[in-house]
Amino acid sequence: MVDLSNLKLVEEVIEVADDSSYADAQEFPPPIPEGVYTFVQGKPEFEATNDGFLSATMTQTVSGGEQDGQKIMFDRVSNKAFDRQGVKVSMMKDHLRAIGDRNPYRTHNEYATALAAAEGQPFKAQVGWEGYCGHKDTEFEIEKGDYKSAFSPKGAKNFPNGADITCPKCKQSVRPRAKITRRIAAQ
């Protein structure tokens, strides 16, 4: 018998469906095709980034068209400013502008309040595909923060027929993932 006495486990009543009706995990379908979609914003979950900026993670749902109801999960924006064409911008402000909110926000609380109020609102965004391999559990595993040695293909053209591809360095499987790559400001 295995000794589990050093683990902090829940009580022994572990609720699982009986074996006759157990639902096995299914293969993931390919991500939604690259393109521009109308989404409905999901509920934001807030946290601080490592450098102290506000970050929000949401599940966005496609509204209309052939992909209606499909989801983009783990869509993350932050209010960390960066330069775009010589102007300070942020992904969070891009998101709010895509919803049609052009108000000036200066505090984390103002951004969070605006983003929470936008739940259920439509916005347009460009979707692209990407994959990532950090060579985990191999001799090539990268150090935290050393993304230069990672394998990160971008674009559906790199994933024929939406299938997984093999990392050329460590030979692990790399799955394509749909990601919002650009938010389109509402007029």
- Please write the tens of the pLDDT for every residue from 39-66: 999 999 999 998 999 999 999 999 999 9
Q: Cβ distance 33 to 67 under 8 Å?
A: yes
pLDDT band at 14 (very low <50, low <70, confident <90, very high): low
pLDDT at position 141, please?
Answer: 79
Element (H, E) at 73: strand 71-78
Instruction: Say whether pTM exceeds 0.85.
Output: no
What does the pLDDT average to over 133-146?
A: 78
Q: Where are the domains of the chain?
A: 35-184
- Please write the tens of the pLDDT for every residue from 120-131: 999 999 999 999
| Residues of the chain above pLDDT 70, percent | 90
| List of residues 6+ apart from 77 with CB closer than 8 A | 55, 56, 58, 90, 91, 92, 94, 95, 115
Alpha-helix runs per DSSP H in the chain: 91-99, 108-117
If one counts every other C-beta atom within 10 angstroms of the C-beta of residue 163, the result is 10
Q: Cβ distance 67 to 60 under 8 Å?
A: no
Q: Cβ distance 149 to 142 under 8 Å?
A: yes
pLDDT band at 106 (very low <50, low <70, confident <90, very high): very high
pLDDT at position 70, please?
Answer: 96
